[in-house]
Amino acid sequence: GPDGRVVKADVVAAGNGATAAGPLASADVSGPGAKGAVEVIEPNRTQQLIARRMASAKATIPEFQVTVEVDSEAAFELREQLRGQAEPLPSLNDLVIKACALALRVHPGVNAAYVDGHFERYGRVNIGMAVASEGTLVVPTVFDADVKSLTEVALATRALAAKVRDATVSPSELAGATFTVSNLGMLGVARFTAVINPPQAAILAVGAANPRAVVGADGSVTARRVMELTISADHRIVYGADAADFLATVRKRLERPAGLLL
């Protein structure tokens, strides 16, 4: 019927075991079994929790995204300089986590949450690190990442990732995060948007550092590795200018990475 309404002809056809003609009725014309054998898989408790939290986040959080490009050549150069001197060698993701932690100190409104109609700002900077594991996603926490040295951050991320893989990470190591970093750059993903991990105010999605043609101030063109960072923020507590300022600070820290060693 008009606008997909059920009309008398639909009812009569259904009673006769037939299908009334129309755009809605033609949705499945291939009959049962067209998809082959169906395996029903029950999600585990972690997958159920993630499903509930992510559905709640998308349904209740008015989020928006802001993206910046970061020239990551200096970050790679710093890693090379640290090779053989720092154990373990900090990864690019470790540098991002440390840069975010320092930026959150400058922008405390992002190190926050909207909870039950009020704002909460946190005294500690604890960075959640999204780690994929056995068909699920686990987010262990690097506590006090702002005061940890870069080497201590690297040690923490490797220990936490190993515990996630071995399924030995403790509940206390999965709690207390005030901000989350999700990195798909190592999988070749250039840009993506991540879903906020409630009740946190924001999450940062990190893309791959890919070579691009960059025009210098003198007009020269060179190939440099550029990485895209996209923040998803809760608009109830973080506004567009706040997100842009935060990303600008993170970019400055990564493009001048020597300050991450202080």
Please state whether beta strands 112-115 and 118-121 pair in parallel, antiparallel, or not at all (unpaired). Answer: antiparallel
Compute the distance between CA of residue 239 and CA of residue 159 in angstroms, rounded to an integer: 35
Residues noted as catalytic: 235
Q: In one letter, which amino acid is 201?
A: A
Compute the distance between CA of residue 168 and CA of residue 186 in angstroms, rounded to an integer: 24
Cα 48-53-55 angle, rounded to 5 deg: 95
Structure tokens at 250: 């993170």
Largest CA distance in the chain: 80
Backbone angles phi, psi at 43, to 5 degrees: -65, 145
- Of the CA atoms within 13 Å of residue 121, those in its CB half-sphere come to 9
The H-assigned helical ranges of 134-257 are 150-166, 240-255
> End-to-end alpha-carbon separation of the chain, Å?
70
